[in-house]
């Protein structure tokens, strides 16, 4: 029988979260820390990492931080090695970091921008999953959570390369779920429009008008995504793998 007081706890577990110094990644890190997990944060900016470490330690979490790109193979190896060495294990991997250096029609996108998007949004998550599997999960099990996007489900103007990368990550989620079961569960979150700095260009001009087009009459908040990420990392979702949870305020219905 499920114990409702324990189902969403992560006591004794360790999570590696990319892009966890702000926005969705930060909210996920805080939710996991509050649920009892140790946290390893991989992000680019040392000052933001320092502030994040202080905040997570205030929640009682042991913390390790690594500065670098989530698309850099050497940084990925270092992050996984330090996570296992310094925190003792690696039970949950959250591939949250993403980039989108281009805005406009996909047919006009420069090849260099395409390569950068694929490096961070597709290759990076795969390399992290491979490293986590070799270092810990193959023997001990675990959970991988990929943050994709509703843009990976339905096309939208101006962010076509980003959307294509998220479609690839969505399919990779299902492929890895098939290959790594039963020891490792792999699921994805597909946020719609969320109030983050990364997405400000899509909501910042007239948030009220944008919100009114959502059936839920608001855009998302990082905590909306973090709550679902906690579910996927916890025993409450122990029979779930290869699934994509859409968190978009109903926009795919509209």
Residues involved in catalysis: 162
Nearest residue to 125 via CA among 97, 91, 87, 95: 95
Distance, in Å, from the CA atom of 148 to the CA atom of 120, rounded to the nearest integer, reads 12
DSSP string over 1-40: ---TTTTT--TT-EEEEETTTSHHHHHHHHHHHHTT-EEE
The angle at the Cα of 242, spanning 64 to 122, to the nearest 5 degrees, equals 55
Residue 217, judged by CB atoms within 10 A of its CB (0-12, 13-18, 19+), counts as: exposed
């Amino acid at each position: 029988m499920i114990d409702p007081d324990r189902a969403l706890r992560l006591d004794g577990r360790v999570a590696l979260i990319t892009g966890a110094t702000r926005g969705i990644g930060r909210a996920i890190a805080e939710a996991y820390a509050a649920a009892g997990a140790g946290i390893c944060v991989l992000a680019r900016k040392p000052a933001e990492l320092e502030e994040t470490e202080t905040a997570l330690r205030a929640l009682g979490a042991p913390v390790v931080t690594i500065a670098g790109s989530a698309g850099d193979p050497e940084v990925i190896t270092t992050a996984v090695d330090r996570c296992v060495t310094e925190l003792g294990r690696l039970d949950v991997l959250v591939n949250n970091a993403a980039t989108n250096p281009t805005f406009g029609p996909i047919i006009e996108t420069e090849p260099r921008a395409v390569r950068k998007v694929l490096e961070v949004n597709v290759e990076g998550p795969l390399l992290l999953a491979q490293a986590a599997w070799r270092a810990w999960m193959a023997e001990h099990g675990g959970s991988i959570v990929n943050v994709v996007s509703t843009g990976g489900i339905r096309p939208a103007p101006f962010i076509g390369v980003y959307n294509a990368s998220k479609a690839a990550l969505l399919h990779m989620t299902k492929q890895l779920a098939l290959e790594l079961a039963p020891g490792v569960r792999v699921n994805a979150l597909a946020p719609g429009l969320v109030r983050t700095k990364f997405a400000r260009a899509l909501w910042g001009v007239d948030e009220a008008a944008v919100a009114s087009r959502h059936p839920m009459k608001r855009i998302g908040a990082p905590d909306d995504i973090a709550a679902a990420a906690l579910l996927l990392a916890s025993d409450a979702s122990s029979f779930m793998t290869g699934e994509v949870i859409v968190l978009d305020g109903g926009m795919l219905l509209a």
